[in-house]
Amino acid sequence: MKKIIPQYCSIADNRRLDADGRYFRLKVADFKPVRPVYPGQFVHIKVADAYDPFFRRAFSIADYDPATRRLEIIYKVVGKGTSTLAIRRKGDSLDVLGPLGNRFSAASKTKTVALVAGGIGFPPLIYLAKALLSRGFSGDQLLFFYGGRTKTDLIELRRIRALGVHVFPCTDDGSYGFKGFVTEAVMQRLADANPKGVYIYGCGPEPMLATLQESAMRRGYAGELSLEAPMPCGVGVCLGCIKPTLDNPRKYVRVCYDGPVFKLGEVKL
């Protein structure tokens, strides 16, 4: 396998997705990976030309078109790194490393698939949904649960619905869709399903994933979770993103290198 090295890509678009300027969609052109790009993987981006902030930032891949070589990420402005990225403009050069990490596996086509996104955890699940549909899944098999604190946290709903999947928006305050946590909506919707016929994919804040993992394991569902964690190096060297395993708390995995995708029940959350 060829070594993955940083490459300079031109920003094709860096567009605000909401009125408050909290969410952005960034597309880079001329991204030429040395290996295939899959849902679940991430890229490590040097957000500034100088060294402030110094460390790269990890972003899940929301889409990649090998024909046009355009890579897309969607991010929320939450700190210095994402604030710096938000002011980058079309035509700017961006230092991108990737794709990194492992990928989601493909569920059996006999399964009902629940894609469970919390907050900014939805981009890799959009990419995954597209991939599953291209593999022959029908839109009726894919249940896309998307949760946020309030209505304004649910962005790209039109895009998700355009995929032809079943969409279940959820808000903590009840301002849109199901009132309550997204994990509650998932378990209610799947209450009568045969556990052997369900496969769950999840991405979002760790408390949400912990609840999803506990509830799914209790019911006997199989599935995978994509974890979010600070990744200073992105290649498993710095150990800044380690997590204990569930079956052996003395054994640790590196989210960036061994993940970010793990089987349900593999990592202690």
Q: Where are the domains of the chain?
A: 7-100, 112-263
CATH of domain 7-100: 2.40.30.10
CA dist 200 and 171 (Å) reads: 20
Of residues 120, 119, 122, the one with CA closest to residue 201: 122
Q: Is the pLDDT of residue 126 over 60?
A: yes
- Residue 179: predicted pLDDT: 98
| Under 8 Å between Cβ of 60 and 108 | no
Exposure pattern of 15-44 as b/e (b: 16+ CB <10 Å)? Answer: eebeeeebbbbbbbbebebeeebbbbbbbb
Mean pLDDT over all residues of the chain? 95
Q: Between the CA of residue 228 and those of 60, 124, 197, 243, 244, what are the distances in Å?
A: 9, 12, 27, 11, 14
Model pTM score: 0.95
Among 48-52, 86-90, 100-104, 259-263, where is mean pLDDT lowest? 48-52
* Distance from the Cα of residue 259 to its chain's centroid: 12
| Under 8 Å between Cβ of 106 and 132 | yes
| Under 8 Å between Cβ of 84 and 171 | no
Per-residue confidence at 180, pLDDT binned at 50, 70, 90? very high
Per-residue confidence at 173, pLDDT binned at 50, 70, 90? very high
CATH of domain 112-263: 3.40.50.80
- Cβ contacts of 221 within 8 Å, gap of 6 or more: 190, 195, 198, 199, 200, 264
| Under 8 Å between Cβ of 200 and 223 | yes
Percentage of residues in the chain with pLDDT exceeding 90? 90
- Using DSSP's 3-state secondary structure scheme, residue 196 falls into helix
- Residue 144: predicted pLDDT: 98
Inter-axis angle of helices 182-189 and 206-219, nearest 10: 20
Q: Is the pLDDT of residue 172 over 90?
A: yes
Of residues 32, 58, 36, the one with CA closest to residue 45: 58
Phi, then psi, of 45 in degrees rounded to 5: -115, 135
Max CA-CA distance within the chain? 55
Q: pLDDT tens across 185-236, in order? A: 999 999 999 999 999 999 999 999 999 999 999 999 999 999 988 888 998 9
Q: Is the pLDDT of residue 243 over 70?
A: yes
- What would the DSSP string read from start to end of 141-177? GEEEEEEESSGGG---HHHHHHTT-EEEEEETTSSSS
Q: pLDDT tens across 6-29, in order? A: 999 999 999 999 989 999 999 999
Residue 264 is encoded by which pair of tokens?
A: 């349900």
Q: Is the pLDDT of residue 246 over 70?
A: yes
SS3 content of the chain, % helix, strand, coil (to 5): 25, 35, 45
- Residue 26: predicted pLDDT: 98
**Domain 7-100 identical in fold to domain 112-263:** no
Q: Is the pLDDT of residue 112 over 70?
A: yes
- Residue 5: predicted pLDDT: 87
Q: Is the pLDDT of residue 53 over 90?
A: no
Percentage of residues in the chain with pLDDT exceeding 70? 99
Size of the chain in residues: 269
- Residue 3: predicted pLDDT: 82
Per-residue confidence at 50, pLDDT binned at 50, 70, 90? confident
- DSSP H or E segment with residue 84: helix 80-86
- Residue 1: predicted pLDDT: 55
- DSSP H or E segment with residue 187: helix 182-189
CA dist 196 and 86 (Å) reads: 43
